[in-house]
Structure 1
Amino acid sequence: MSKSLHDKKPIFIQIKEVIEDQIINDQLKAHDQIPSTNQLVQFYKVNHITVAKGINLLVEEEIIYKKRGVGMFVEELAKEKLLLQRREGFAEEFVLPMLKEAKKLKLSDSEIIKIMEEWKGSVKDD
Protein backbone atom coordinates (compact mmCIF):
# COMPACT_ATOMS: atom_id res chain seq x y z
CA MET A 1 0.00 0.00 0.00
CA SER A 2 1.13 3.50 -0.73
CA LYS A 3 0.99 6.06 2.08
CA SER A 4 0.96 9.05 -0.23
CA LEU A 5 -2.40 10.80 -0.23
CA HIS A 6 -2.89 14.18 -1.88
CA ASP A 7 -5.37 17.07 -2.03
CA LYS A 8 -6.47 16.54 -5.63
CA LYS A 9 -9.22 14.04 -4.77
CA PRO A 10 -11.20 13.22 -1.64
CA ILE A 11 -9.33 10.78 0.63
CA PHE A 12 -12.08 8.13 0.47
CA ILE A 13 -11.75 8.09 -3.35
CA GLN A 14 -7.97 7.75 -3.09
CA ILE A 15 -8.30 4.80 -0.70
CA LYS A 16 -10.83 3.20 -3.05
CA GLU A 17 -8.44 3.68 -5.99
CA VAL A 18 -5.49 2.19 -4.05
CA ILE A 19 -7.50 -1.00 -3.53
CA GLU A 20 -8.62 -0.95 -7.17
CA ASP A 21 -4.99 -0.58 -8.29
CA GLN A 22 -3.98 -3.53 -6.11
CA ILE A 23 -6.66 -5.63 -7.81
CA ILE A 24 -5.65 -4.49 -11.30
CA ASN A 25 -1.95 -5.13 -10.54
CA ASP A 26 -2.73 -8.62 -9.15
CA GLN A 27 -1.59 -7.73 -5.65
CA LEU A 28 -5.13 -8.71 -4.64
CA LYS A 29 -6.81 -11.52 -6.57
CA ALA A 30 -10.33 -12.94 -6.65
CA HIS A 31 -11.46 -13.97 -3.15
CA ASP A 32 -8.38 -12.48 -1.44
CA GLN A 33 -9.13 -10.64 1.77
CA ILE A 34 -8.47 -6.91 1.60
CA PRO A 35 -7.01 -4.99 4.55
CA SER A 36 -9.57 -4.30 7.26
CA THR A 37 -11.04 -0.87 7.81
CA ASN A 38 -9.05 -0.63 11.07
CA GLN A 39 -5.80 -1.51 9.27
CA LEU A 40 -6.48 1.15 6.65
CA VAL A 41 -7.35 3.73 9.34
CA GLN A 42 -4.05 3.03 11.13
CA PHE A 43 -2.01 2.94 7.91
CA TYR A 44 -3.35 6.20 6.45
CA LYS A 45 -4.03 7.93 9.78
CA VAL A 46 -7.50 8.97 8.67
CA ASN A 47 -11.00 8.84 10.09
CA HIS A 48 -12.82 5.49 10.20
CA ILE A 49 -15.82 7.00 8.37
CA THR A 50 -13.56 8.15 5.51
CA VAL A 51 -12.18 4.64 4.99
CA ALA A 52 -15.63 3.07 5.32
CA LYS A 53 -16.96 5.42 2.64
CA GLY A 54 -14.32 4.26 0.15
CA ILE A 55 -14.86 0.58 1.03
CA ASN A 56 -18.63 0.92 0.72
CA LEU A 57 -18.26 2.32 -2.80
CA LEU A 58 -16.32 -0.82 -3.74
CA VAL A 59 -19.08 -2.99 -2.25
CA GLU A 60 -21.77 -1.03 -4.14
CA GLU A 61 -19.82 -1.47 -7.39
CA GLU A 62 -19.51 -5.20 -6.66
CA ILE A 63 -15.72 -5.06 -6.63
CA ILE A 64 -15.51 -6.46 -3.11
CA TYR A 65 -17.96 -8.38 -0.94
CA LYS A 66 -18.49 -8.68 2.79
CA LYS A 67 -18.34 -11.89 4.80
CA ARG A 68 -20.06 -10.96 8.01
CA GLY A 69 -17.70 -11.28 10.95
CA VAL A 70 -14.77 -12.24 8.72
CA GLY A 71 -13.90 -9.28 6.48
CA MET A 72 -13.99 -7.97 2.94
CA PHE A 73 -12.93 -9.99 -0.09
CA VAL A 74 -12.28 -9.37 -3.79
CA GLU A 75 -15.17 -10.37 -6.08
CA GLU A 76 -14.58 -13.07 -8.72
CA LEU A 77 -14.63 -10.72 -11.74
CA ALA A 78 -13.41 -7.56 -9.98
CA LYS A 79 -10.28 -7.12 -12.12
CA GLU A 80 -12.24 -7.44 -15.36
CA LYS A 81 -14.86 -4.94 -14.15
CA LEU A 82 -12.20 -2.45 -13.11
CA LEU A 83 -10.30 -2.73 -16.36
CA LEU A 84 -13.51 -2.17 -18.33
CA GLN A 85 -14.44 0.88 -16.21
CA ARG A 86 -11.01 2.42 -16.57
CA ARG A 87 -10.81 1.76 -20.30
CA GLU A 88 -14.19 3.44 -20.80
CA GLY A 89 -13.04 6.53 -18.89
CA PHE A 90 -9.54 6.65 -20.36
CA ALA A 91 -10.35 8.65 -23.49
CA GLU A 92 -12.44 11.23 -21.68
CA GLU A 93 -10.10 11.66 -18.72
CA PHE A 94 -6.72 11.55 -20.48
CA VAL A 95 -6.90 11.57 -24.28
CA LEU A 96 -9.41 14.40 -24.72
CA PRO A 97 -7.51 16.89 -22.52
CA MET A 98 -4.28 15.93 -24.27
CA LEU A 99 -5.81 16.49 -27.71
CA LYS A 100 -7.26 19.85 -26.64
CA GLU A 101 -3.83 20.99 -25.49
CA ALA A 102 -2.22 19.63 -28.66
CA LYS A 103 -4.71 21.63 -30.72
CA LYS A 104 -3.82 24.81 -28.81
CA LEU A 105 -0.15 24.10 -29.54
CA LYS A 106 -0.98 23.40 -33.18
CA LEU A 107 0.63 19.95 -33.06
CA SER A 108 -0.02 17.69 -36.04
CA ASP A 109 -1.22 14.11 -35.65
CA SER A 110 2.24 12.84 -36.56
CA GLU A 111 3.84 15.12 -33.94
CA ILE A 112 1.45 13.83 -31.26
CA ILE A 113 2.22 10.22 -32.20
CA LYS A 114 5.97 10.93 -32.19
CA ILE A 115 5.75 12.46 -28.71
CA MET A 116 3.74 9.48 -27.43
CA GLU A 117 6.24 7.01 -28.91
CA GLU A 118 9.16 8.90 -27.35
CA TRP A 119 7.56 8.92 -23.91
CA LYS A 120 6.15 5.40 -24.00
CA GLY A 121 9.53 3.87 -23.18
CA SER A 122 9.91 6.00 -20.07
CA VAL A 123 6.72 4.67 -18.45
CA LYS A 124 7.52 2.39 -15.50
CA ASP A 125 5.23 -0.07 -13.76
CA ASP A 126 4.12 1.08 -10.31
Structure 2
Amino acid sequence: MHFNFDSTEPIYLQVAEQLEEAIFTGGFAEDEQVPSTTEISKQFHINPATVLKGMNLLVAKDLIEKRRGIGMFVKQGATTRIMNQRRESFYADYVMNLVSEAQKLGLTQDKLEQLISRGYQDEDITR
Protein backbone atom coordinates (compact mmCIF):
# COMPACT_ATOMS: atom_id res chain seq x y z
CA MET A 1 0.00 0.00 0.00
CA HIS A 2 1.09 3.49 -0.80
CA PHE A 3 -0.69 6.60 0.40
CA ASN A 4 -0.45 10.07 -1.05
CA PHE A 5 -0.75 12.40 1.91
CA ASP A 6 -0.61 15.42 -0.42
CA SER A 7 -3.61 14.26 -2.46
CA THR A 8 -6.99 15.93 -2.23
CA GLU A 9 -8.46 12.42 -1.94
CA PRO A 10 -9.03 11.58 1.73
CA ILE A 11 -6.80 8.89 3.23
CA TYR A 12 -9.76 6.73 4.26
CA LEU A 13 -10.83 6.54 0.59
CA GLN A 14 -7.28 5.62 -0.41
CA VAL A 15 -7.35 2.83 2.21
CA ALA A 16 -10.65 1.50 0.86
CA GLU A 17 -9.54 1.71 -2.79
CA GLN A 18 -6.23 -0.02 -2.16
CA LEU A 19 -7.77 -2.83 -0.13
CA GLU A 20 -10.45 -3.26 -2.81
CA GLU A 21 -7.78 -3.39 -5.53
CA ALA A 22 -5.84 -5.98 -3.52
CA ILE A 23 -8.96 -8.12 -3.22
CA PHE A 24 -9.70 -7.73 -6.94
CA THR A 25 -6.17 -8.67 -8.03
CA GLY A 26 -5.91 -11.61 -5.64
CA GLY A 27 -3.71 -10.00 -3.01
CA PHE A 28 -6.33 -11.08 -0.50
CA ALA A 29 -8.32 -14.19 -1.32
CA GLU A 30 -11.92 -14.75 -0.33
CA ASP A 31 -12.18 -15.89 3.30
CA GLU A 32 -8.66 -14.56 3.94
CA GLN A 33 -8.03 -12.16 6.79
CA VAL A 34 -7.00 -8.63 5.84
CA PRO A 35 -4.54 -6.67 7.97
CA SER A 36 -6.06 -5.14 11.07
CA THR A 37 -6.67 -1.43 11.45
CA THR A 38 -3.88 -1.39 14.01
CA GLU A 39 -1.40 -3.07 11.65
CA ILE A 40 -2.17 -0.69 8.80
CA SER A 41 -2.18 2.39 11.01
CA LYS A 42 1.17 1.52 12.59
CA GLN A 43 2.85 0.53 9.32
CA PHE A 44 1.76 3.64 7.44
CA HIS A 45 1.47 6.11 10.34
CA ILE A 46 -2.24 6.68 9.80
CA ASN A 47 -4.83 7.29 12.50
CA PRO A 48 -6.60 3.99 13.30
CA ALA A 49 -9.99 5.71 13.03
CA THR A 50 -9.12 6.75 9.47
CA VAL A 51 -8.21 3.17 8.54
CA LEU A 52 -11.39 1.88 10.16
CA LYS A 53 -13.47 4.40 8.21
CA GLY A 54 -11.97 3.06 4.96
CA MET A 55 -12.55 -0.54 6.01
CA ASN A 56 -16.15 0.24 6.95
CA LEU A 57 -16.73 1.42 3.38
CA LEU A 58 -15.76 -2.08 2.23
CA VAL A 59 -18.05 -3.61 4.85
CA ALA A 60 -20.88 -1.47 3.47
CA LYS A 61 -20.03 -2.64 -0.07
CA ASP A 62 -20.28 -6.26 1.18
CA LEU A 63 -16.62 -6.97 0.36
CA ILE A 64 -15.25 -7.63 3.82
CA GLU A 65 -16.86 -8.71 7.08
CA LYS A 66 -16.03 -8.28 10.74
CA ARG A 67 -15.65 -11.51 12.64
CA ARG A 68 -16.00 -10.67 16.27
CA GLY A 69 -12.81 -11.12 18.19
CA ILE A 70 -10.68 -12.25 15.23
CA GLY A 71 -10.68 -9.47 12.63
CA MET A 72 -11.79 -8.54 9.13
CA PHE A 73 -12.08 -11.12 6.35
CA VAL A 74 -12.75 -10.98 2.63
CA LYS A 75 -16.29 -12.17 1.97
CA GLN A 76 -17.19 -14.94 -0.41
CA GLY A 77 -18.08 -13.46 -3.81
CA ALA A 78 -16.22 -10.20 -3.16
CA THR A 79 -14.15 -10.51 -6.34
CA THR A 80 -17.27 -11.07 -8.43
CA ARG A 81 -19.01 -8.09 -6.80
CA ILE A 82 -16.01 -5.88 -7.59
CA MET A 83 -15.90 -7.14 -11.19
CA ASN A 84 -19.62 -6.47 -11.67
CA GLN A 85 -19.37 -2.99 -10.18
CA ARG A 86 -16.35 -2.15 -12.36
CA ARG A 87 -18.13 -3.41 -15.47
CA GLU A 88 -21.11 -1.20 -14.69
CA SER A 89 -18.80 1.77 -14.11
CA PHE A 90 -16.96 1.01 -17.36
CA TYR A 91 -20.28 0.99 -19.20
CA ALA A 92 -21.44 4.26 -17.65
CA ASP A 93 -18.10 6.06 -17.82
CA TYR A 94 -16.74 4.87 -21.15
CA VAL A 95 -19.23 3.01 -23.32
CA MET A 96 -22.02 5.56 -23.01
CA ASN A 97 -19.58 8.40 -23.78
CA LEU A 98 -18.18 6.44 -26.72
CA VAL A 99 -21.64 5.80 -28.17
CA SER A 100 -22.63 9.43 -27.65
CA GLU A 101 -19.52 10.70 -29.45
CA ALA A 102 -19.97 8.14 -32.24
CA GLN A 103 -23.52 9.36 -32.78
CA LYS A 104 -22.32 12.97 -32.96
CA LEU A 105 -19.84 11.88 -35.63
CA GLY A 106 -22.56 10.08 -37.56
CA LEU A 107 -20.99 6.65 -37.04
CA THR A 108 -23.32 3.69 -37.31
CA GLN A 109 -23.16 0.84 -34.82
CA ASP A 110 -21.49 -1.34 -37.48
CA LYS A 111 -18.82 1.31 -38.15
CA LEU A 112 -18.20 1.75 -34.43
CA GLU A 113 -17.83 -2.02 -34.01
CA GLN A 114 -15.31 -2.02 -36.89
CA LEU A 115 -13.31 0.71 -35.17
CA ILE A 116 -13.34 -1.20 -31.88
CA SER A 117 -12.16 -4.36 -33.67
CA ARG A 118 -9.42 -2.31 -35.32
CA GLY A 119 -8.38 -1.05 -31.88
CA TYR A 120 -8.04 -4.61 -30.61
CA GLN A 121 -5.91 -5.51 -33.63
CA ASP A 122 -3.71 -2.41 -33.50
CA GLU A 123 -0.33 -3.38 -32.11
CA ASP A 124 0.42 0.17 -30.99
CA ILE A 125 -2.48 0.17 -28.51
CA THR A 126 -0.52 -1.95 -26.01
CA ARG A 127 2.55 0.29 -26.07
Matches of 2:98 and 2:7 in 1, distance apart? 22
Deviation of residue 99 (structure 1)?
A: 8.3
Write the mapping of 1:42-121 to structure 2, written as runs, cut at 5 A.
Answer: 42-94=42-94, 120-121=125-126
Task: Please name the residue that 1:13 is paired with.
Answer: 13
Unaligned runs of 5+ in 2: none
Task: Please name the residue that 1:4 is paired with.
Answer: 3
Q: CA 1:33 to 1:25, structure 2 compared with 1: closer, same or farther past 3 Å? A: same
Kindly indicate whether the alpha-carbon contact (under 8 Å) linking 2:3 and 2:11 is maintained by their aligned counterparts in 1.
no
Task: Please name the residue that 2:40 is paired with.
Answer: 40
TM-score by length of 1: 0.74
Letter in 2 for 1:14: Q
Please, what is the CA RMSD of the aligned residues?
Answer: 2.8
Deviation of residue 44 (structure 1)?
A: 2.3
Matches of 2:57 and 2:40 in 1, distance apart? 15
Kindly indicate whether the alpha-carbon contact (under 8 Å) linking 2:41 and 2:51 is maintained by their aligned counterparts in 1.
yes
Kindly indicate whether the alpha-carbon contact (under 8 Å) linking 2:15 and 2:51 is maintained by their aligned counterparts in 1.
yes
Instruction: Report the number of matched residues.
Output: 119
| CA-to-aligned-CA distance 1:8-52 (integer Å, 9 cap, x gap) | 422111110111111111111110000100111122221111111
Kindly indicate whether the alpha-carbon contact (under 8 Å) linking 1:3 and 1:43 is maintained by their aligned counterparts in 2.
no
Unaligned runs of 5+ in 1: none
